[in-house]
C-alpha cells in the first residue's frame, strides 16, 4: 500500500504527501466535552483544559475531528499528591464493537510514589497488549509532551520525543498481526476512578477526602489526515514527515534505554497470564534490531 493512496472500506482515499496540520492551542475550536459537566473546564481563552474527578463523576473530552493516520500530541500535567485509584488517559480510538484504540493511561499513586504509564494497542476489539513503564521525571510538577504516532507502517509512543514503545504493521509478514488501518479515530482524554485495579492491582483505593483530583492539558496538536463525513480522508498543507516516520538508529538506542531502565511489565513475557503462548508479534522484537 502506497502512502499516497489508502484503501478504506473499498473506497479509494487520497492523501497527498503534504499532510495536514490541525493547529493546537484552542480547545474551544478543537475538542468537545463529552462527560463530566463542569468538571471539565476550558481556561485561558482555550489554551488550557482541566479535567477533574470527584466521588460523583470523572470527566472527559474528545477531538471534534476524526483521523486516519497522524501524529497526535498533547502536553499533560498529571494529578499531584495522593492520586491512588485514579487514571488519567490520553488515547485515540474508533467507534463500534470491533474498535481500534491506542492508549496512554497514567495510573495514580500514593504521594511520593512514581506514576505508572500503562500502554495498550487494541485492534478489532482485541487488546491484551499491555506494556507498563515508570517515568524518569515527576509528571505532576510541569507539563510534558505525550505523542502517538500512527502511520501505515508503525505505531510509536513518545514521551517528550523519546520513544518508549513501537508496534509495527505486520499484516503482510509471516505473523499476520491485525493492524489499525481502516477505521478513523478521534483523540480522547479522560480522568476517572479505577481503584479496582489502577494502583497496586486495586489494593490501594481512592481517598475521596482528597478530591477533587485534577489534571491539566495544553498544546493539543494533530498532524494528521482528517476523516470527513462522506467517508474520505484528506491530507492538505503542512509537514508530512510523520507519514513516513520510523525509528532511526538513535531512536532505537533511546527505546532500548527506556526498556532496560523503566519498563516494569511486558505482555510478551508474562507466561503466567498467557500459558498457551505469547501473541505472534512478540516474536518480532524492536529492541533486538
Q: Does residue 101 carry a catalytic annotation?
A: yes
pLDDT-derived band at 194, boundaries 50, 70, 90: confident
Q: C-alpha cell of 62?
A: 474528545
Residues 6+ apart with CB under 8 A from 217: 27, 48, 49, 50, 51, 74, 75, 76, 77, 189
The residue extents of the domains of the chain are 5-288
Q: How far apart are CA 153 and CA 169, in angstroms?
A: 5
Please calculate the CA angle 114-138-268 and round it to the nearest 5 degrees. 50
First to last CA, the chain: 24
From the candidates 105, 166, 181, 281, give the one annotated as an active-site residue.
105
CATH node for 5-288: 2.60.120.200
pLDDT tens digits along 94-123: 998 899 999 999 999 888 888 999 999 999
Q: Is the pLDDT of residue 183 over 60?
A: yes
Task: Determine the pLDDT at residue 144.
Answer: 98
pLDDT, averaged across the chain: 87
pLDDT tens digits along 217-276: 999 999 999 988 776 666 654 557 899 999 999 999 999 999 999 999 999 999 999 999
What percent of the chain stands above pLDDT 90? 72
pLDDT tens digits along 134-161: 999 999 999 999 999 999 999 999 999 9
Q: Does residue 105 carry a catalytic annotation?
A: yes
Q: How far apart are CA 164 and CA 259, in angstroms?
A: 7
Q: C-alpha cell of 182?
A: 481502516
Mean pLDDT value across residues 196-223: 89
Residue with cell 472527559: 60
User: Do residues 36 and 59 lie in contact, with contact meaning Cβ atoms separated by under 8 Å?
Assistant: yes
The count of C-alpha atoms lying within 13 angstroms of the C-alpha of 157, restricted to the half-sphere facing its C-beta, is 23
Amino acid at each position: 500500500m502506497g502512502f499516497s493512496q489508502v484503501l478504506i472500506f473499498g473506497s479509494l482515499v487520497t492523501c497527498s504527501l503534504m499532510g495536514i496540520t490541525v493547529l493546537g492551542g484552542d480547545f474551544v475550536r478543537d475538542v468537545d466535552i463529552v462527560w463530566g459537566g463542569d468538571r471539565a473546564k476550558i481556561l485561558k481563552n482555550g489554551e488550557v483544559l482541566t479535567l477533574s474527578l470527584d466521588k460523583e463523576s470523572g470527566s472527559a473530552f474528545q477531538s471534534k475531528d476524526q483521523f486516519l493516520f497522524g501524529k497526535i500530541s498533547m502536553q499533560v500535567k498529571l494529578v499531584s499528591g495522593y492520586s491512588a485509584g485514579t487514571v488519567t488517559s490520553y488515547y485515540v480510538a474508533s467507534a463500534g464493537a470491533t474498535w481500534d484504540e491506542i492508549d496512554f493511561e497514567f495510573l495514580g499513586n500514593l504521594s511520593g510514589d512514581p506514576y505508572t504509564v500503562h500502554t495498550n494497542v487494541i485492534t478489532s476489539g482485541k487488546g491484551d497488549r499491555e506494556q507498563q513503564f515508570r517515568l524518569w521525571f515527576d509528571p505532576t510538577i510541569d507539563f510534558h509532551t505525550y505523542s502517538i504516532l500512527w502511520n501505515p507502517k508503525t505505531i510509536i509512543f513518545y514521551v517528550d520525543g523519546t520513544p518508549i514503545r513501537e508496534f509495527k504493521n505486520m499484516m503482510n509478514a509471516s505473523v499476520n498481526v491485525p493492524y489499525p488501518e481502516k477505521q478513523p479515530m478521534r483523540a480522547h482524554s479522560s480522568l476517572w476512578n479505577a481503584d479496582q485495579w489502577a494502583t497496586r492491582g486495586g489494593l490501594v483505593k481512592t481517598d475521596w477526602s482528597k478530591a477533587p483530583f485534577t489534571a491539566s492539558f495544553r498544546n493539543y496538536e494533530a498532524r494528521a489526515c482528517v476523516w470527513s463525513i462522506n467517508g474520505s480522508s484528506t491530507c492538505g498543507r503542512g509537514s508530512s514527515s510523520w507519514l513516513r516516520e520510523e525509528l532511526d538508529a538513535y531512536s532505537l538506542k533511546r527505546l532500548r534505554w527506556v526498556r532496560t531502565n523503566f519498563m516494569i511489565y511486558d505482555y510478551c513475557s508474562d507466561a503466567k497470564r498467557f500459558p498457551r503462548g505469547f501473541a505472534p508479534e512478540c516474536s518480532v522484537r524492536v529492541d533486538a534490531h
